[in-house]
């Protein structure tokens, strides 16, 4: 059986192909087709089938990640959507939290609501915080709104009522009326999308789900047609924001849950690789052309968050907690009016790109600096497919950076790298040390085109002792789709004091969620022996407004005192103190249903060829301003045998990335081909 993982990116669509019988693992890229991303997927699948070695019926698994949802929100290409809400609250979406985006600049304005005011309708009917009905639902108001919408070009209707998380009956009744009146509209309810309190975030997530529904369905239809036309019978899965896989049917209902599809697959893949090598605690470090994504993994599990913004709109769905900063290979360096060196947030992107690409870029980028320093091959990248103009890159840095600061071009280029590394280090600390993690016990998993190039310096900056570089690091997000399980998150807001009685009610709630999860897993055709669940409960001290998620492995077997003990320990870890005598509130129950996807073990790489056969040459590399140039051996990473053991400095080149090993570091190749870089304690 052949398993295929796909990652649809802005520039390239990456493929990873695993032959389960032979263990052979293949990686390749095709150019993306943003107008219809499914076209590039078809191109890649045809390429896999082209030589006849793989036949359609051999393909047993198709998993793909795509940032289509996020792109549609950023480019405002969602479907025309209407919003029905409680009387008195139609402006909640527009008021937001009544803050301005920038404290000192009134030209940086709030994003316009995803549903304009004219398409937001008020409906009488009101619940209180316990879900008790204060006013009955005025069904005529729903009918009136539908009448106003009929004949308009409305493809989706979102319904969000105040306190609907406590009782969804009003929303459900309104939805059935809308479906009768507008049978073709995609209807979505806040009580289904996000049954949690805080109306703005819930409504925002709900309208985003609504506006994504129709175009996501259209994309999936096109993709399914293309896959079927190739006679591939394997089910199609999509990675969602929590790193798990969802069936097409679930994605249709919950498209908002794919906002981090793609990046989350990379984290899932990194977590598995690190865990398998004995590093349950790790930081993922994914550096691309325009951004750096970092996240933290503890005990083999990625950290999750329940909230983030997508194009400045809040989204609350369970997501891998990925912190993104605007620092990548294309980030542009500049000297500001008062003489400080800055790198980013502006990026030369893929076009015009860095100066060395010779495609019209004139502003010095981080990639140019790495070429000037000899860290990147000064002749060509992508195995010769992308010739470089190192002289032009050096001239740009000399003119824009070295000139104004009076530094040499090398020191200026190294300064650019140091500033970028400091930015990246801050991002890492903000997801790790700021949450109470001690990085001395962590590994840094470096991937993306430029992650392995900066990992050595970033690890030193943050005090991380070990670096892992997976095979084909530039395509890890595609490979991550082969390492994921099927999963879906269920949430329920409880909002009650934590007492023995309420804990019993909470246990019953978890049991009900468990049944709901079983039904969903059955619908996804997951065999019973492959089903599982992870449960957590969000707790806070009475009077706080922010919760901490406490894992509770088996809620039905744990008593409250053990849960509270875990909460106190976590509170102390995160905030530095706890309050043993203070009352605790139960806020939200979370359950992640998991359908385990069987995975073959990682294929080993060859160990027969000697290390020196992988050596392709030597070039001067600038590591340190005091040392200047250092002659450094260059290796073809794909030809390095398992068991290879080298001392830095070294440069390792492969198709999708370049790995830098600093003087004082040691590099080993483990049996499945992952690079392990450690500090020797010498030569710092």
Residues near other proteins (CB under 8 A) are 87-92, 94-95, 97-100, 102-107, 109-110, 116-118, 128-129, 134, 162-163, 165, 197-200, 335-343, 405, 415, 418-419, 422-423, 425-426, 429-430, 433-434, 495, 497, 541-546, 571, 574-577, 579, 582-583
How near is the Cβ of 162 to other proteins at its closest, in Å? Answer: 6
| Contact of 437 with 443, CB cutoff 8 Å | no
User: What's CA 643's distance to the chain center, in Å?
Assistant: 32
Q: What is the three-class DSSP state of 130?
A: coil
How near is the Cβ of 324 to other proteins at its closest, in Å? Answer: 15
Which of the 8 DSSP states describes residue 365? B
What CA–CA distance (Å, rounded) separates 513 from 503? 15
| Contact of 297 with 274, CB cutoff 8 Å | yes
What CA–CA distance (Å, rounded) separates 285 from 291? 11
Which of the 8 DSSP states describes residue 109? P
Task: Give me the count of residues in the chain.
Answer: 684
Name which of 424 and 644 has its Cβ closer to other proteins. Answer: 424
What CA–CA distance (Å, rounded) separates 377 from 653? 8
Phi, psi for 139 (deg, rounded to 5): -60, -30
| Contact of 303 with 295, CB cutoff 8 Å | yes
DSSP class per residue in 6-25? EEE-SSEEEEEEEETTT--E
What CA–CA distance (Å, rounded) separates 326 from 292? 6
Name which of 248 and 411 has its Cβ closer to other proteins. Answer: 411
What CA–CA distance (Å, rounded) separates 255 from 253? 6
DSSP class per residue in 25-68? EEEEEEE--TTSHHHHHHHHHHHHHHTSSS-GGGEEEEEEEE-H
How near is the Cβ of 557 to other proteins at its closest, in Å? Answer: 29
Which of the 8 DSSP states describes residue 582? S
| Contact of 111 with 311, CB cutoff 8 Å | yes
What CA–CA distance (Å, rounded) separates 226 from 231? 9
How near is the Cβ of 300 to other proteins at its closest, in Å? Answer: 26
- Cβ neighbors of 181 (< 8 A, separation 6 or more) are 143, 146, 147, 149, 150
User: What's CA 100's distance to the chain center, in Å?
Assistant: 27
- Cβ neighbors of 273 (< 8 A, separation 6 or more) are 445, 468, 470, 674
- Cβ neighbors of 30 (< 8 A, separation 6 or more) are 12, 13, 15, 40, 43, 44, 47
| Contact of 534 with 555, CB cutoff 8 Å | no
Which is nearest to 269 in space by CA: 579, 674, 680? 674
What CA–CA distance (Å, rounded) separates 677 from 118? 58
- Number of C-beta neighbours around residue 104 at 10 A: 6
Tokens of 521: 């897993």
How near is the Cβ of 100 to other proteins at its closest, in Å? Answer: 4
What CA–CA distance (Å, rounded) separates 579 from 583? 9
Name which of 84 and 675 has its Cβ closer to other proteins. Answer: 84
Q: Which residue matches tokens 């992508």?
A: 382
- Cβ neighbors of 543 (< 8 A, separation 6 or more) are 582
Name which of 115 and 476 has its Cβ closer to other proteins. Answer: 115
Name which of 150 and 582 has its Cβ closer to other proteins. Answer: 582
| Contact of 304 with 267, CB cutoff 8 Å | no
What CA–CA distance (Å, rounded) separates 470 from 228? 33
Q: What is the three-class DSSP state of 488?
A: strand
What CA–CA distance (Å, rounded) separates 297 from 480? 15
What CA–CA distance (Å, rounded) separates 515 from 346? 49
What CA–CA distance (Å, rounded) separates 447 from 450? 7
How near is the Cβ of 260 to other proteins at its closest, in Å? Answer: 21
Q: Where are the alpha helices (DSSP H) in 389-482?
A: 390-397, 403-405, 409-431, 451-462, 476-480
Name which of 117 and 504 has its Cβ closer to other proteins. Answer: 117
How near is the Cβ of 146 to other proteins at its closest, in Å? Answer: 19
């Amino acid at each position: 059986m052949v398993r295929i993982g796909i990652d649809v990116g802005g520039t390239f669509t990456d493929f990873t192909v695993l032959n389960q019988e032979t263990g052979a693992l293949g990686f390749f890229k095709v150019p993306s087709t943003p107008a219809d991303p499914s076209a590039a997927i078809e191109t890649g699948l045809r390429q896999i089938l082209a030589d006849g070695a793989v036949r359609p019926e051999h393909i047993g698994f198709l998993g793909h990640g795509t940032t289509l949802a996020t792109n549609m929100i950023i480019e405002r290409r969602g479907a025309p959507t209407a919003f029905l809400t409680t009387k008195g609250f139609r402006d909640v979406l527009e008021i937001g939290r009544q803050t301005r985006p920038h404290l000192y600049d009134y030209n940086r304005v709030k994003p316009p609501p995803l549903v304009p005011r004219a398409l937001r309708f008020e409906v009488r009917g009101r619940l209180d915080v316990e879900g008790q009905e204060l006013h009955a639902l005025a069904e005529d108001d729903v009918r009136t709104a539908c009448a106003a919408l009929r004949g308009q070009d409305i493809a989706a209707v979102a319904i969000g009522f105040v306190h609907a998380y406590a009782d969804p009956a009003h929303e459900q009744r309104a939805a059935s009326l809308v479906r009768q009146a507008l049978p073709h509209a995609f209807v979505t309810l806040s009580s289904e999308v996000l049954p949690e309190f805080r109306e703005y975030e819930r409504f925002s997530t709900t309208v985003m789900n609504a506006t994504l529904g129709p175009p996501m369905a259209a994309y999936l239809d096109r993709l399914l047609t293309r896959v079927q036309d190739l006679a591939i019978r394997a089910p199609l899965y999509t990675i969602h924001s929590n790193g798990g896989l969802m069936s097409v049917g679930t994605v249709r209902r919950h498209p908002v849950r794919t906002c981090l599809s793609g990046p989350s697959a990379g984290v899932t893949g990194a977590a598995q690789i690190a865990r398998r090598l004995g590093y349950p605690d790790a930081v993922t470090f994914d550096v691309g052309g325009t951004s750096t994504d970092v996240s933290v993994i503890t005990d083999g599990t990625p950290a999750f968050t329940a909230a983030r913004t997508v194009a400045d709109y809040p989204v609350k769905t369970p997501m891998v907690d990925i912190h993104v900063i605007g620092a990548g290979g294309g980030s542009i360096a500049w000297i500001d009016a008062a003489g400080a060196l800055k790198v980013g947030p502006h990026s030369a992107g893929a076009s015009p790109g860095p100066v060395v690409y010779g495609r019209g870029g004139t502003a010095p980028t981080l990639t140019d600096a790495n070429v000037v320093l000899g860290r990147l091959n000064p002749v060509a990248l992508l195995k010769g497919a992308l010739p470089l103009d190192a002289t032009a890159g050096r001239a740009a840095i000399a003119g824009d950076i070295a000139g104004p600061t009076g530094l040499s071009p090398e020191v200026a280029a190294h300064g650019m790298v140091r500033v970028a590394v400091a930015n990246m280090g801050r991002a890492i600390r903000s997801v790790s040390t700021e949450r109470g993690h001690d990085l001395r016990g962590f590994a840094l998993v470096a991937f993306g085109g430029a992650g392995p190039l900066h990992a050595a310096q970033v690890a030193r900056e943050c005090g991380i002792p070990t670096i892992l570089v997976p095979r084909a690091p530039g395509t890890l997000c595609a490979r991550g789709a082969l390492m994921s399980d099927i999963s879906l998150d269920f949430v329920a807001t409880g909002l009650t004091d934590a007492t023995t009685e309420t804990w019993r009610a909470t246990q019953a709630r978890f049991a009900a969620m468990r049944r709901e999860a079983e039904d969903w897993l059955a619908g996804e055709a997951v065999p019973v022996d492959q089903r599982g669940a992870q449960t957590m409960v969000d707790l806070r001290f009475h009077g706080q407004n922010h919760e901490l998620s406490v894992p509770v492995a088996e809620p039905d077997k744990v008593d409250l005192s053990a849960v509270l003990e875990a909460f106190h320990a976590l509170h102390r870890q995160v905030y530095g103190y706890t309050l043993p005598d203070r009352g605790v509130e139960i806020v939200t129950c979370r359950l992640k249903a998991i359908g385990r996807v069987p995975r073959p073990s990682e294929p080993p790489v060859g160990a027969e060829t000697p290390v020196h056969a992988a050596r392709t040459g030597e070039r001067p590399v600038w590591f340190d301003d005091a040392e200047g140039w250092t002659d450094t051996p260059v290796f073809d990473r794909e030809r390095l045998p398992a068991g290879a053991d080298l001392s830095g400095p070294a440069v390792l080149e492969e198709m999708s990335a370049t790995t830098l090993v600093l003087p004082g570091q040691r590099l080993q190749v483990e049996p499945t081909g992952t690079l392990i870089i450690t500090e020797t304690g010498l030569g710092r």
